Amino acid sequence: MLGMPHRGRLATLIVLNEFPFRNLLHKASGNNEISDEIHDRIDDMPTHIAVSNSKSFTSGNKEVKTKKVTLTMVHNPSHLESQNSISMGKTRAKQDDFYTGEGKRHLKVMNIQCHGDAAFPGQGAAYEALNMSKLPKFECGGSIHIITNNQLGFTTNPTDDRSFARSSDIVKPFGIPVLRVNTANPEAVIKVCKFMIKYWQKFGKDVLVDMIGYRFYGHNELDEPSFTQPLMYKEIRSRKTPPQAYADTLVANNVISVEDVQKTRD
């Protein structure tokens, strides 16, 4: 059960949930998904789409196992972070539905919440969901929290949008462990995520990763961010993107060849 805001949502819809790309382009082009026969219809934005589908995952070294997993992304309203408690509630309902009294109930369904670095401490809905996370009738055996930390709230610097150093500091009263990782190091990101899953599986408690990176374009990919953050974006645009930098690392370590990189780019 996945609750997430706008940032990265369309890529997650397409890549992870396999939402048909033509449907997304149809909607992004301004077409209405609601029939013309329905009067006074109001369609929603592409970044609010919800989707649920089932996928098969194969794993195992000694014995190959294939497991069917249903991925559900809840609707995202414009009021950021308000989907957190909804995703937790749906997770608990599914857990109660699937639980047979054997093993750990929370392992039946996982709740993942993605947050923006400014919205997470800035919207009261996030703190309210955290406050409910350990209530007997509401807890869902812990949630996986991911802050996609762009170090920028719309056009606001971190020092101007919160009264504390880290956007993850609001989880301190709840005893939630926090891990920080540089998104420019994809292997470190994978290690941290695997650690989070093992922690959740063993203890059934919330855990948070603060993925510190940046957004290359502006808030809505159309505005010019160097107008408000000139020094930051001068530094960002002087660097290679994480995929480019990681490809160079793989070439230097003889994992792949320059030709392989070129084929991928072509």
Please state, for a pLDDT cut of 70, what percent of the chain lies above it.
Answer: 95
Higher pLDDT, 99 or 44: 99
Distance between CA atoms of 103 and 76, rounded to whole angstroms?
A: 32
Residue 194 has pLDDT above 80, yes or no: yes
Residue 208 has pLDDT above 90, yes or no: yes
Can you tell me the mean pLDDT for 52-76? 84
Residue 101: the pLDDT is: 82
What domains are there in the chain, each with its CATH number? 2-28+46-58+65-213 (3.40.50.970), 229-266 (no CATH)
Count CA within 13 A, CB hemisphere, residue 242: 13
Residue where the block lists tokens 């869902």: 140
Distance between CA atoms of 116 and 151, rounded to whole angstroms?
A: 9
Count CA within 13 A, CB hemisphere, residue 226: 9
Name the burial class of residue 238, with classes exposed (0-12), middle (13-18) and buried (19+) by CB atoms within 10 angstroms of its CB.
exposed
Residue 62: the pLDDT is: 67
- Report the SS3 class of residue 187: helix
Name the burial class of residue 120, with classes exposed (0-12), middle (13-18) and buried (19+) by CB atoms within 10 angstroms of its CB.
buried
Record the pTM: 0.89
Residue 168: the pLDDT is: 96
Please state, for a pLDDT cut of 90, what percent of the chain lies above it.
Answer: 53
Task: Give residue 38's pLDDT band: very low, low, confident or very high (50, 70, 90).
Answer: low
Distance between CA atoms of 6 and 187, rounded to whole angstroms?
A: 25
Task: Give residue 6's pLDDT band: very low, low, confident or very high (50, 70, 90).
Answer: confident
Distance between CA atoms of 141 and 205, rounded to whole angstroms?
A: 6
What token pair was written down for 100? Answer: 């047979």
What DSSP assignment string belongs to 56-116? EEEE-SSS-EEEEEEEEE----SSTTTHHHHHHHHHHHHHHHH--SSS-GGGGS-EEEEEE
What DSSP assignment string belongs to 136-182? TTT--S-EEEEEEE-S-BTTB-HHHH-SSS-GGGGGGGGT--EEEEE
pLDDT digits 0-9 by tens, 159-192: 898 999 999 999 999 999 999 999 999 999 999 9
pLDDT digits 0-9 by tens, 219-248: 877 789 999 999 999 999 999 988 889 999
pLDDT digits 0-9 by tens, 117-133: 999 999 999 999 999 99
| Helix H or strand E segment including 230 | helix 230-236
Beta-ladder partners of 13:
none
